[in-house]
Amino acid sequence: MIHVEGILPSIANENKMRKIKIRAYAKLNLVLDVINRRADGYHEVEMVMQSIDLYDQLQFLPASSLVLEIAGHRLPNDERNIIIKTAKLLKAHTGFSGGARIGLRKKIPVGAGLGGGSADAAATLVGLNQLWGLDLPFASLEKIGAKLGADIPFCLQGGTVLAKGIGEQLTPLPPLPSLPVFLAKPPFNVSTALMYKNLDLSVIAHHPDVQRVVVSIQEGAYQRITENWGNLLEEVTLKRYPELKTVMDWLASLGLPVRMSGSGPTLFIFGANPDQMTTAVAKVGASLRRKGWWTYYGFLHNRGFEIIENEKRGYARGERTLSPD
């Protein structure tokens, strides 16, 4: 089995492909700083983004029109869904007149700060580019994706990345190993736009040291990441949702290195020793689930998406991941 390292395979042949499956991986923010607010309303950020092994699965089949079918969640399947928005933008960009039947199996929680919508949009760009035989270069897909969301270019690249600008200026970092991570999301969602709107940079006294986190990653000193990490959006989200702060303080009191991802509300434990992680998965996880929280125990990942081809050939059965050669 050969994996795609965040780049597009060059072996797109829509006459042989009858179905394309893609795993779209979630992300965490190991550190997130907000520098300033631009005149257009967007915020300049500096952050280290990291893929994890939690994923949504998308399936693409030929069709005369655009159809989205969703399993596992009650979500809109029209233009309110970023998958349909992405497909229509790709059609407008290329002039392609056909359609696709898209299936989504949702595993990444919605409104969680884990980049699920951006991951789905990135997978849609990749899948339809192949299904429709468009052969757009990877850079073009990134530019199209950036029009819909600042995290989409990262979800196309994946792995461990330093992001600047509004999140679209990406610098790959040495990939982190498959370290364990524990996630916990309360039974409510958070609006990213609202959190940024309520962020008052004039009263922020301390900013996280993004560069020190970058150096720790470059030097392979993973244990030092949690010494300098931070998330400036916690200032807003924790104040607005006291329950979230209570749980975060509780986890910290247990000696667990805890941070919030993106605008929240998902909290994640990273950098704990094996005994601490066992405690988090067992005792902490059970306690939070009784309160209605969603929890997940997984690992860091080194790609943003993975493509699987199902071929209708006489000698081929099952699934295999595509390589770029």
Q: Is the pLDDT of residue 324 over 50?
A: no
Q: Where in the chain is the domain with CATH 3.30.230.10?
A: 17-173+301-321
Q: Tell me if residue 83 falls in helix, strand or coil.
A: helix
Residue numbers annotated as active site: 27, 151
Mean pLDDT within 25-37: 94
Write the CB contacts of 190 (distance below 8 Å, at least 6 apart in sequence). 111, 112, 113, 237, 241, 263, 264, 265
Cα 3 from chain centroid? 18
> What stretches of 4-42 adopt beta strand conformation (E)?
17-37
Q: How does residue 63 score in pLDDT terms, banded at 50, 70 and 90? A: very high
Report pLDDT for 323: 33
pLDDT tens, position by position, 247-305: 999 999 999 999 999 989 999 999 999 888 998 889 999 999 999 999 999 999 999 99
Q: How does residue 309 score in pLDDT terms, banded at 50, 70 and 90? A: low
Q: Where in the chain is the domain with CATH 3.30.70.890?
A: 180-299
How much of the chain is in helix, strand and coil states, percent to nearest 5?
30, 30, 40
180-299 has which CATH code? 3.30.70.890
Report pLDDT for 94: 96
Q: Are 150 and 44 a contacting pair, CB within 8 Å?
A: no
pLDDT tens, position by position, 97-150: 999 999 999 999 999 999 999 999 999 999 999 999 999 999 999 999 999 998
Q: Is the pLDDT of residue 316 over 50?
A: no
| Pair of tokens at residue 9 | 């395979």
pLDDT tens, position by position, 192-208: 888 888 888 878 878 89
pLDDT above 70 as % of the chain: 89
pTM, whole model, 2 decimals?
0.88
Q: How does residue 73 score in pLDDT terms, banded at 50, 70 and 90? A: confident
The CATH architecture one would assign to domain 17-173+301-321 is 2-Layer Sandwich (3.30)
Q: How does residue 7 score in pLDDT terms, banded at 50, 70 and 90? A: very low
Q: Which residue has the tokens 């492909």?
A: 17
